[in-house]
Amino acid sequence: MVLRTVSRHAELRDLLQNTRQRSLALAAPLSDADASVQSMPDASPAKWHLAHTTWFFETFVLTPHVAGYAVFDPAYGYLFNSYYEAAGPRLRRDRRGMLTRPSLAEILAWRAHVDAALDAAIDDLPEAARTLATLGCHHEQQHQELLLTDILHLFSENPLAPAFAPDAPFPPAARDAAHDWAAHPGGIVSIGHGGDGFAFDCETPRHDVLLQPFALGSRLVTNAEWTAFIDDGGYRTPSLWLSDGWAWVQREAVSAPLYRERGDTGWSAMTLAGRQPVDPAAPATHVSYFEADAFARWAGARLPREAEWEAMAESPALSQMFGVCWQWTETAYAAYPRFRPAAGAVGEYNGKFMCGQFVLRGSSCATPPGHSRSSYRNFFYPHQRWQFTGVRLAKDMGTDAS
Amino acid sequence: MVLRTVSRHAELRDLLQNTRQRSLALAAPLSDADASVQSMPDASPAKWHLAHTTWFFETFVLTPHVAGYAVFDPAYGYLFNSYYEAAGPRLRRDRRGMLTRPSLAEILAWRAHVDAALDAAIDDLPEAARTLATLGCHHEQQHQELLLTDILHLFSENPLAPAFAPDAPFPPAARDAAHDWAAHPGGIVSIGHGGDGFAFDCETPRHDVLLQPFALGSRLVTNAEWTAFIDDGGYRTPSLWLSDGWAWVQREAVSAPLYRERGDTGWSAMTLAGRQPVDPAAPATHVSYFEADAFARWAGARLPREAEWEAMAESPALSQMFGVCWQWTETAYAAYPRFRPAAGAVGEYNGKFMCGQFVLRGSSCATPPGHSRSSYRNFFYPHQRWQFTGVRLAKDMGTDAS
Amino acid sequence: MVLRTVSRHAELRDLLQNTRQRSLALAAPLSDADASVQSMPDASPAKWHLAHTTWFFETFVLTPHVAGYAVFDPAYGYLFNSYYEAAGPRLRRDRRGMLTRPSLAEILAWRAHVDAALDAAIDDLPEAARTLATLGCHHEQQHQELLLTDILHLFSENPLAPAFAPDAPFPPAARDAAHDWAAHPGGIVSIGHGGDGFAFDCETPRHDVLLQPFALGSRLVTNAEWTAFIDDGGYRTPSLWLSDGWAWVQREAVSAPLYRERGDTGWSAMTLAGRQPVDPAAPATHVSYFEADAFARWAGARLPREAEWEAMAESPALSQMFGVCWQWTETAYAAYPRFRPAAGAVGEYNGKFMCGQFVLRGSSCATPPGHSRSSYRNFFYPHQRWQFTGVRLAKDMGTDAS
Amino acid sequence: MVLRTVSRHAELRDLLQNTRQRSLALAAPLSDADASVQSMPDASPAKWHLAHTTWFFETFVLTPHVAGYAVFDPAYGYLFNSYYEAAGPRLRRDRRGMLTRPSLAEILAWRAHVDAALDAAIDDLPEAARTLATLGCHHEQQHQELLLTDILHLFSENPLAPAFAPDAPFPPAARDAAHDWAAHPGGIVSIGHGGDGFAFDCETPRHDVLLQPFALGSRLVTNAEWTAFIDDGGYRTPSLWLSDGWAWVQREAVSAPLYRERGDTGWSAMTLAGRQPVDPAAPATHVSYFEADAFARWAGARLPREAEWEAMAESPALSQMFGVCWQWTETAYAAYPRFRPAAGAVGEYNGKFMCGQFVLRGSSCATPPGHSRSSYRNFFYPHQRWQFTGVRLAKDMGTDAS
């Protein structure tokens, strides 16, 4: 990534303390076992998230930039590197759940060690190190969201359907139930991060895009609307689906969003508060791109393009843009014109994933405070749905010529 | 697709005769066995190509539009439908090679039956039927190219490396060996099919795109340049590759373009003329998107975007745009703004594949005469490489402001 | 194998002529395409059978034992070796269907070349060569049966359900419909090949086995009895199945013997004469060991042990022992005491398969004349069922002490 | 199984207390995370072993036979049933590692609850219940061994190679290094359980078997001998291997026993005491049937048959028969003549696994005290090797007639 503005020392100290402390608070309800198990290759154990984010500070900030810093345990580099080829070999992603040792308590001790070293060093950190430390905080915020969605997946695999926390985040219903269209006249718009504040490299450079007139839905698609799609045979109608999506529906026997089940008393869904009745007014969530695309086609609409979404991000006519569900766009995740990955190992952060994934915009109920912005680009493969993913519709509007 | 102009009767008769006759000529060197075996799920038997293209005319032109037409064999609909959900159930794609019956001779008899019926009906065909018959010809031309690339794959699996034909098509070397850059100033350009003549629906509607200044390579990357990439450790350097690409290289143990092997006497490659020495001056071909992307990164360049390619398609500074190798672009295959799939079953032709594939532009040595145009959009998955696929480089150019 | 008696020259000439001629007669109804396609990794193309059996004579008889013999085509050794590690590298088993070249006509020319060389050499062949030539004939007889069962599988994959031949072999009904039990008092019996005539090495040495009193069913289980098993929920009752068998039933969604389907007009089955109504009095066939074992448990019986079967092979009370269906035994295929594999490459013929397979006894309607004997041991994996496999029941009998 | 003699009340109390207490002692070094993770589908989490053995007593002893017994948690039946179809649906075997809840502490509380109920009920248990309680103890002893081998596998997947316990069991070297042959004259011998004391159903009925003269090795094959096999190219020589074994070696890239690695300072192996140097005099262990069979062929010997092993089990000439390594036999696991599975759900204990597995005899260093006997039949698939499995050689001896 490219850090547009380097945080000053005091700001960085606050950011670090808040971020590092929040991870501990999130993990508090978890047992050693909860924190160690990997429920699928796409997910990581909570302990691994706590460790990997710590490894990031140790590897990219403390070791190269703080004289005399003693690495806590040299073996941890191999265990908790995620995918940075430049940072050396690493444990296979699908074996992260084998690490019953080090224990959660040992990882917490490592975190304390690193936090103390950062705190002691912060006033003397050079600009390059502060840039990386700021990145480390935003990186940790991303893992905070993953920690929650990965725990939800783990608990969904447990027939006891345990609750993570009674007050855990969930996607709230819109303040206004009516669905309306908010129009945009098209023309040349600027998108991408260009101002002050932090952004990941893939959000840059800011650049112009030519849009045709369009409109976005004023709120997200609701559970009630999704139930109508199901009841209308949406999951059994091949003409609604992309070819790969239809193959996925058949191979995986998909008939509803992830975690949703129909029982004798109606629909329920596994949530971070355990299994709960489905609120018809709340947004449909845990849907794949394939499902989002099929739903939009069924509804006579389409998904937004990412530039359309960003062009409307500040519109007062639109609700649920941030903090509810990530919103699938029909835009494949790719480099912006003149994109340059960040220098060094952290250049592997975003660019190497620009293939086969779709952009999601906004943020979700599980996104940490301060982590949302209009230019943010999230991305997942079209079959993935264990994140809090939802659907905002879009449509074309008439032009002067028509 | 959307047919912009309906062919007049005489034109259609010529198109039909030329197209149908050319398929027969292509298949002439094949035995019944050659024409029946399926070498991988991505490929189809030559007999299947001959049959499926015939099914298209029978199903979409003759049966609905020609009174009294007698279907040749009612079982063939199930056997030779490819992926048209609206046209009923069909043989699984990966089982096409099980059809040793009907024989090649029976399929040729079917072709004659359909050709005779088309010929008899042509003067009375309504416009809708002529539209579909024209589409059927262009559809058959696509399958002519696939017939050749599928046979090449089949023969490459045979340790005897048989030659399809001594004069079979191959990608020729450029007329000028030097690689130069042809610049474009950027700005708003129009792309997509908008004029007379046939186009597939995905090429429409014509629309404006905003480009930044860029340049394209004056010719395709050569085998000699690709050998330099190999010799420089290109296939062993993870930082050159997309994450999915690196996983593919390791999983498949990829170390060279498809069909290329290094032996005691240097590089050779399986071709439609059997195994042949690799010509250093000829374009590198049979490369995946992953390889194309890694090569471009290694060369300090990038792949073109499809709008860039189309904006330069007529430039005299550029050689090998058509008739040599399909050229990977970094653009994911997606709908143009305001794209509408064709009505009816043929609407499944293009739109449902808009996920996970990349656009290739130009045409190849295996593309039939008359099938190339500036707006043409070919598309494949990033790991596929049994087509004649190559690489043209691109790079950003300075702007007035910089 | 161990050849007990070497055929004399005149006998060998007859055996060779009859065997080699019979293969040609069997293949006569097949087109080049029919003969070239491989329908699953367990099966081989008919052309491959014709070639591999020829390779056996060329490799083990002509090349080492006939001075001046010119190998027909040196490339064929790689193409048509099956699994003889000692005879060099070879084409992967699951790629045998890629060999559209050499053509069927070329393979037939090779056969003629080898037959002529054998004919010319036969009077001068040393004993070792005659031993191998005799083995080659019995080896070819085995492939004659496989040619038929592999073609049946291929044609069963074709939605047209073509008939191989109107007079093709099928398992006939027993002459007496009543099922009775034929008892044996137990005690020490001798099994294994010990006399004159040919046998494979795994049939030797003849040795004593101690049996307890038992009885065998007087005929094979019929289609009518199998339908009763189906109708009684046999395929849905886990307590009837081995653990691996139940997993197989669920994974493969098995609900009837292979090729059998229930339609509006009752049961039919794909056969070498095309799709035919199921004859209730004919023996059930194309069943796996898992199914045979579950059926026997459902019937309150068990499968025979191979020594029990052989001890009763000549009993007049038993029908359908030979020439109808291979009969699953509950005996795992293993070495007889003091078994020694044949010397040389042909020692790989049997011994290396002694793991995970079950013995079948008797012979089937597809077994060539002269290929059946009491000591014969056929073997397949418990899930395989594309051979003509059936079930003869067994049960324990009271002892004096009980 | 068939329980030959029912334990009297006092004996049963001792057996229960010792067995249940030993499981707790074994699990003492494990954290909640250690006890919860499943490292492969073949293995189970330690917590699951502790729970499943408790479920056995609750389901088969307390619930049906103790009036007023209150099930601890009704959900546990689904979670901790292993494979008893008759006892209802259950969690998929490969999902046992998802159960981070209930916690280890909750499982221990369940164990205490069940132990107290058993203790209170024991004096009044009817004979049928005492039979099942005795079976439950032997069943738990089996799981004690699995708990150790499953933990070893889990820890072997951790790059830190943690030690389970410094004094953990390991296979000791033989008291006499020399390898000798102990001969048996053959003839009719009786095998199977026939006397007093507990046995599993598959060990019965005792019956006569006819053997030919043979000899067994006086001790197990050592690590030094196995290293010689490796150094002689044993893993690269196809003629030494069964066909399925050679495919396994190539597919899995096997080049040494499980857990063994060659490093700069020689061979080491992962053990329950962490990574340790390999003792050349200690028995080779963690070998598959495929490896055992190949080694024996390389050594000019063969594996014992299970009846041979049992006939010699009490011979003073033989060391390391019990308590060192399980010893592969070449006998497929199958029913003894007139075998009858135990009545009721526990009849699923053994019989349904009689397919595709080989018998191992003796016992290992991880087998609980009192769990070894001459008639004991262990069984695993030929590729499995995470148990303490080793090799004792056998050979044929001359007969009077020869």
Question: What integer pLDDT is reported at residue A6 of this predicted model?
Answer: 52
Question: What integer pLDDT is reported at residue C7 of this predicted model?
Answer: 59
What's the whole-number mean pLDDT along residues D73-95? 90
Which residues, in sequence order, are CB contacts of B79 under 8 Å at separation 6+? B51, B90, B91, B99, B102, C159, C160
Indicate whether C63 pLDDT > 70.
yes
Backbone angles phi, psi at D223, to 5 degrees: -60, -35
> Would you say C103 and C27 are in contact if contact means Cβ atoms under 8 Å apart?
no
Peptide bond into D102 cis (omega under 30): yes
Task: Give alpha helix (H) positions in A302-342.
Answer: 306-311
> Would you say B364 and B339 are in contact if contact means Cβ atoms under 8 Å apart?
no
Which residues, in sequence order, are CB contacts of A89 under 8 Å at separation 6+? A78, A81
The beta strands (E) that lie in B300-402 are given as: 326-332, 358-361, 378-380, 389-390, 394-396
> Closest to D31 (Cβ–Cβ): which among A32, A98, A154?
A32
Output the DSSP codes for C274-285. EEEE--TTSBP-
> Would you say B363 and B323 are in contact if contact means Cβ atoms under 8 Å apart?
yes
Pinpoint the residues of chain C covered by CATH 1.20.120: 9-156
Residues on chain C touching D242 (C-beta within 8 angstroms): 352-355
What's the whole-number mean pLDDT along residues D265-270? 96
Local structure of residue A28 (DSSP, 8 states): T
> Closest to B338 (Cβ–Cβ): which among A208, A212, A243?
A212
Interhelix angle B243-252/B289-298, rounded to 10 degrees, is 110
- Alpha carbon C107 to its chain centroid, in Å, reads 24
Residues on chain C touching B47 (C-beta within 8 angstroms): 33
> Would you say C8 and C136 are in contact if contact means Cβ atoms under 8 Å apart?
no
Output the DSSP codes for C3-72. -SSPPPHHHHHHHHHHHHHHHHHHHTT--TTTTT---STT---HHHHHHHHHHHHIIIIIHHHSTTPPPS
pLDDT in tens, B138-174: 999 999 999 999 999 999 999 999 999 989 999 999 9
Shortest CA gap B5–chain A (Å): 21
Question: What integer pLDDT is reported at residue C400 of this predicted model?
Answer: 53
Pinpoint the residues of chain C covered by CATH 3.90.1580.10: 181-396
Question: What integer pLDDT is reported at residue B1 of this predicted model?
Answer: 41
Shortest CA gap C128–chain B (Å): 33
Nearest in space to C351 (alpha carbons), one of C127, C86, C104, C88: C86
Q: Edge-to-edge strand order for the sheet containing C274-277?
A: C260-263, C266-271, C274-277
What's the whole-number mean pLDDT along residues D85-102? 91
3-state secondary structure of D19: helix
Question: What integer pLDDT is reported at residue D176 of this predicted model?
Answer: 83
Characterize the bridge pairing of strands C389-390 and C326-332. Answer: parallel
Question: What integer pLDDT is reported at residue A40 of this predicted model?
Answer: 97
> Would you say A219 and A174 are in contact if contact means Cβ atoms under 8 Å apart?
yes
Exposed / middle / buried, residue C143 (Cβ in 10 Å: 0-12, 13-18, 19+): buried
Question: What integer pLDDT is reported at residue C114 of this predicted model?
Answer: 98
CB contact under 8 A, A353 and B243: yes
Indicate whether C359 pLDDT > 70.
yes
Confidence category of residue C6, pLDDT binned at 50, 70, 90:
low
B207 lies within 8 A of chain A by CB:
yes
Q: Which of D348, D352, D380, D402 to mutate to test the interface with C (most CBs of C within 10 A)?
A: D352
What's the whole-number mean pLDDT along residues D353-376? 97
CB contact under 8 A, B79 and C160: yes
Local structure of residue D305 (DSSP, 8 states): P
Indicate whether B314 pLDDT > 80.
yes
C100 lies within 8 A of chain B by CB:
yes
Which ranges of chain A have pLDDT less than 70? 1-7, 399-402
D32 lies within 8 A of chain A by CB:
yes
Reading the block at residue D240, the tokens are 């030494």
> Closest to B352 (Cβ–Cβ): which among A242, A338, A353?
A242
CB contact under 8 A, D210 and C212: no
Chain C 317-356, CB below 8 Å of chain D: which residues?
330-332, 334-335, 337-338, 348, 352-356
Q: What is the pTM of this model?
A: 0.96
- Distance, CA of A17 to CA of C225 (rounded, Å): 76
Domain C9-156 in CATH 1.20.120: yes
Backbone torsion region of residue B197, taken as left when φ is above 0, otherwise alpha when ψ lies between -120 and 50, otherwise beta: left
List the subunits that have 3+ CB pairs under 8 angstroms with A. B, D
Question: What integer pLDDT is reported at residue A4 of this predicted model?
Answer: 43
Question: What integer pLDDT is reported at residue B244 of this predicted model?
Answer: 97
What's the whole-number mean pLDDT along residues B66-85? 92
Exposed / middle / buried, residue A36 (Cβ in 10 Å: 0-12, 13-18, 19+): buried
Q: Which residues pair with B184 in a beta bridge?
A: B214
CB contact under 8 A, B242 and A355: yes
CB contact under 8 A, D160 and A101: yes
D207 lies within 8 A of chain C by CB:
yes
- Distance, CA of A258 to CA of D249 (rounded, Å): 40
Q: What is the dihedral of CA A127, A133, A138, A144, to 10 degrees?
A: -170
**What is each CA distance from B316 to B212, B219, D188, in whole angstroms?**
21, 11, 95
Shortest CA gap A11–chain B (Å): 33
For tokens 């007062």, name the residue: A316
CB contact under 8 A, A210 and B212: no
CATH class of D181-396: alpha beta
Question: What integer pLDDT is reported at residue D400 of this predicted model?
Answer: 53
Question: What integer pLDDT is reported at residue A370 of this predicted model?
Answer: 93
Look at B89-93, B347-351, D139-143, D357-361 and tell me which has the smallest mean pLDDT: B347-351
Indicate whether D150 pLDDT > 50.
yes
- Distance, CA of D247 to CA of D241 (rounded, Å): 9
Shortest CA gap C209–chain D (Å): 6
Exposed / middle / buried, residue C276 (Cβ in 10 Å: 0-12, 13-18, 19+): middle
pLDDT in tens, B195-244: 889 999 999 999 999 999 999 999 999 999 999 999 999 999 999 999 99
ipTM: 0.95
pLDDT in tens, C119-177: 999 999 999 999 999 999 999 999 999 999 999 999 999 999 999 998 999 999 998 88
Reading the block at residue B184, the tokens are 């474009």
Nearest in space to B63 (alpha carbons), one of B27, B46, B88, B45: B88
D177 lies within 8 A of chain C by CB:
no
Question: What integer pLDDT is reported at residue A149 of this predicted model?
Answer: 98
For tokens 């005879």, name the residue: C87
Question: What integer pLDDT is reported at residue C1 of this predicted model?
Answer: 41
Question: What integer pLDDT is reported at residue B6 of this predicted model?
Answer: 52
pLDDT averaged over every residue in chain C: 95
pLDDT in tens, A116-161: 999 999 999 999 999 999 999 999 999 999 999 999 999 999 999 9
Confidence category of residue D195, pLDDT binned at 50, 70, 90:
confident
Nearest in space to B326 (alpha carbons), one of B282, B349, B285, B360: B360
Nearest in space to D143 (alpha carbons), one of D51, D63, D60, D78: D51
Query: How much is the CA Rg of chain C, to the nearest whole Å?
Result: 22
> Would you say A216 and A318 are in contact if contact means Cβ atoms under 8 Å apart?
yes
A54 lies within 8 A of chain D by CB:
no
Chain B residue whose CA is closest to C154? B98
The identity of residue A12, as a single letter, is L
For tokens 């995986």, name the residue: A252
CA angle C70–C76–C80, rounded 5-degree value: 130
What's the whole-number mean pLDDT along residues D65-83? 94
pLDDT averaged over every residue in chain D: 95
Q: Which residues pair with C277 in a beta bridge?
A: C268
